[in-house]
Amino acid sequence: MIAMSGYVIVYMLYWCRQAAADLSEYSYSMDECYFHFALSIGFFCALLCSMFFGTEVSDGTIRNKVIVGHTRANIYLASLITTFTATFLILSVWLIGALVAVPTLGFWKMGIPRLLLFLLISVMFILVYSALFTAICMLSSNKALTVLVSILLFLGLLVFASVIYNGLKEPEMINGIQITQNGIEMAESSPNPNYITGVKRDIYSFLVDFLPTGQGIRLWQLEVTHPIRMLVSSLFWTVAVTAGGLSAFKKKDLK
């Protein structure tokens, strides 16, 4: 939480300075920077969960919970709730700390209903992160490996979602700009061979909304067009990963 508070204050004050120094007609707003946390909150969740529960599992102290009578289901779900609560607190630090920019950037232009929708989507995809990293921690007995796998999983999902999203952002037409001896000259626009169309575009769009990292990119870019699909995808991820992780944890040899 301390790390996140330092991060958000530095980031928001940077935006305030940019807004004060820019003499162009470009208008800076709170909307553009308020949801930047969506790209990094998964990293905080991965690090927190793997360090905390990775220590408990690798040191064998988790066996004490079984010895005193707690069921494995209770242990697993308690770990999930703890991870989600801690990540939510870290997220809350950003949401509150970002208000330092209000005197310069003003309040949100998107309106309260859309703001609340974005925040609900945020809460749901940090629940997905919590489910993913809790499963890794509960099933791994090596703390170092747990930390490595959790962080690499987050980075892998982020890169994958970024590649798909960048593919969707390819323009349909390429501007006909040519550099000649006479300088820059304009020519006729031509079709972009990298532009994605048809069913492939629908699949790409679905994957971005389906992945928690893709949802983070959508929020960051303020491009939430299918909120219901995003919320249902987060719910599916959470239930599926938790059910699979819990089933495997019940069979795990705690030694």
Mean pLDDT by 10 residues, the chain (255 residues): 90 82 67 86 88 73 79 87 93 90 82 90 93 88 83 93 88 66 63 79 91 91 90 94 88 72
Q: Which domain holds residue 218?
A: 2-251
| pLDDT value of residue 120 | 93
Overall number of domains in the chain: 1
Query: What pLDDT does residue 196 have?
Result: 79
- The number of CA neighbours under 13 Å toward the Cβ of 66 is 15
Q: Could you tell me what percentage of the chain is helix, strand and coil, using 3-state DSSP and rounding each to the nearest 5? A: 75, 5, 20
Q: How far is CA 189 from CA 173, 174, 180, 194, in A?
A: 6, 5, 17, 14
What pLDDT, on the 0 to 100 scale, is given for residue 69? 80
Taking the model in full, what pTM does it have?
0.85
